[in-house]
C-alpha cells in the first residue's frame, strides 16, 4: 500500500511541475494542476498518518532500564 502511495505522490508531483511547460491552455493547465495537487496532498497526508500509527505501535510501553 505504501509503495502505491509513494508512486502516486511522485507521479502527481512530476505531472504538476511539468504541466505548466507542456499544456498551453490555461483552463486545462489549472484543472490538471488542481487535480494532481489534490492527489499529492492526499497521498502525502496518508503517508504521514501511516507513519505516525506505525511509530506508536512499535513503542514499548514498559521500557526496561
- Orientation of helix 2-22 relative to helix 26-57, angle to 10°: 160
Selected residue with higher pLDDT from 55 and 15: 15
pLDDT at 41 over 90: yes
Burial of 54 (0-12, 13-18, 19+ CB in 10 A): exposed
Q: Which pTM does this prediction carry?
A: 0.71
In a domain, 28, yes or no: yes
Number of domains observed in the structure of the chain: 1
Q: What is the pLDDT of residues 4-40, one digit of tens each?
A: 999 999 999 999 999 989 988 889 999 999 999 999 9
Is residue 58 in a domain? no
Within-domain flag for 59: no
53's grid cell: 500509527
Is 45 a domain residue?
yes
Domain, as residue range, for 34 = 1-8+24-53
Amino acid at each position: 500500500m505504501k509503495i502505491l502511495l509513494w508512486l502516486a505522490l511522485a507521479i502527481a508531483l512530476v505531472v504538476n511541475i511539468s504541466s505548466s511547460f507542456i499544456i498551453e491552455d490555461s483552463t486545462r493547465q489549472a484543472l490538471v494542476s488542481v487535480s494532481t495537487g489534490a492527489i499529492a496532498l492526499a497521498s502525502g497526508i496518508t503517508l504521514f498518518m501511516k507513519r505516525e500509527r506505525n511509530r506508536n505501535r512499535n513503542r514499548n510501553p514498559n521500557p526496561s532500564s
